[in-house]
Each structure stands twice: as C-alpha cells, then as structure tokens.
Amino acid sequence: EWAALGRQHLQELLTIKWRLAFEGRSFFADIREVSDKCGLVSLQKQLLSQIIHDECFNFFNVHEGNKIISRTLSRKRVLVVLGDVDNIQHLKYLVGRHDWFGLGSRIIVTTRDEHLLRCCQVDDVYMLTTLNTKDALQLF
C-alpha cells in the first residue's frame, strides 16, 4: 500500500533529521485504525510510553489521560506525529492544547479532513498537491 510506504518514509526521515532536537518522539501512522481497535485510553498510554520509556502509566479514562499527558510533557520538547486522523476526539485527547507540550515541540497531523485542523486552531496547514502523470512516473 502506497500510503503506508509514505508514512513509514516520513517517520524515518523525521527520526533521522530531528532525533537530537527533541527529548522524546511519538509516531502513530494510522490513528483511525488503532483507535477503532484499542480505544483512546490505549493511544494516550502509547503516546506517553513512546516518550517516557521508564514509566508505567495507569489510568482508565481519557480525562485522567489528558491530565497526565499535560503534566508529564508540559516541560519536554517533543515531536508527535499523528497519521490518518479522522476524528476531532483524536486531537482533543492526544494533543489537546499547545501548553500540554514544552517550548519547541512539534505536532504533525495528517488528515484528509481539513475541517479537523481548523477546529483545533493549528498553527500551519500544508496542503499536498498531486503530481501530474509524467512527474509521477519519473519517481519510478
């Protein structure tokens, strides 16, 4: 699947380029699918575990998760990549507000629904353009 290759490539590039610039990193290639299978509390725990490796997080609802994420990460410069977001709840409960993360943090969200980004007052939106057939064929 081409989309999966693109997400994997993005993760590798970001990890190589920015591995020293951040105190922690969290990458989810397919939030929609993982959320449907595991739920938001599980995603919150995964986010925290990917950034804070030596700690076990025990909470049982998204509101507790929000408090722990904001308290634990508010002084850390982190990189969080959320791929294939299709629900405002994903953003609300995983990356909430700017002050949940330390200065210099970067949150990258990929979605097909621009409205989700506008609702969350993101700083910048980058719209991908498709390649014409000739340019697309040159990639191969």
DSSP 123: S
Which has the higher per-residue pLDDT, 63 or 97? 63
- Looking at the predicted structure, is the pLDDT value of residue 56 above 80? yes
Residues contacting 56, CB < 8 A, separation 6+: none
| Rounded distance between C-alpha atoms, residue 45 and residue 68, angstroms | 10
User: What is the CA 103 to chain-centroid distance, rounded?
Assistant: 17
What pLDDT is stored for residue 10 in this prediction?
Answer: 67
89 pLDDT higher than 90: yes
- The answer, yes or no, to whether residue 4 has pLDDT greater than 60, is no
Higher pLDDT, 51 or 54: 51
Q: Which of 21, 32, 61 is nearest to 45 (CA)?
A: 61
Does residue 8 carry a pLDDT above 80?
no
Q: Give the Cα separation of 99 and 75 in Å (integer).
A: 9
Phi-psi bin for 74: left (phi > 0), alpha (psi -120 to 50), beta? alpha
How far is Cα 39 from Cα 76, in angstroms, rounded to an integer? Answer: 25
Query: What average pLDDT does this structure show over 44-71?
Result: 95
- What is the model's pLDDT at position 2? 47
* Reported confidence tier of residue 1, pLDDT bands at 50, 70, 90: very low
